[in-house]
Amino acid sequence: MAQQHEYQYSYATLGIDLTLRGIQLNGECPLCNEDRALFVNATDGTWICNGCHERGNLYTMLGNIHKEGQERTKRIEYLELYKAKGIKPDTLITWGFAKNQLTGEWITPTY
Looking at residue 64, what is its pLDDT?
A: 96
Kindly state the average pLDDT of the residues 21-43.
95
Looking at residue 111, what is its pLDDT?
A: 72
d(CA 66, CA 72): 10
Ramachandran angles phi, psi of 29, nearest 5°: -80, 125
d(CA 5, CA 54): 23
Looking at residue 22, what is its pLDDT?
A: 87
Confidence of residue 29 (pLDDT cuts 50, 70, 90): very high
d(CA 16, CA 40): 11
Handedness of CA 33, 65, 104, 36 (dihedral sign): positive
**What are the tens digits of pLDDT across the range 64-78?**
999 999 999 999 999
Local structure of 19: helix, strand or coil: strand
Local structure of 87: helix, strand or coil: coil
**What are the tens digits of pLDDT across the range 75-99?**
999 999 999 999 999 999 999 999 9
- pTM more than 0.85: yes
Closest residue by Cα to residue 7 from 50, 31, 35, 39? 39
4, pLDDT greater than 90:
no
Looking at residue 3, what is its pLDDT?
A: 56
d(CA 20, CA 9): 11
Kindly state the average pLDDT of the residues 5-26.
94
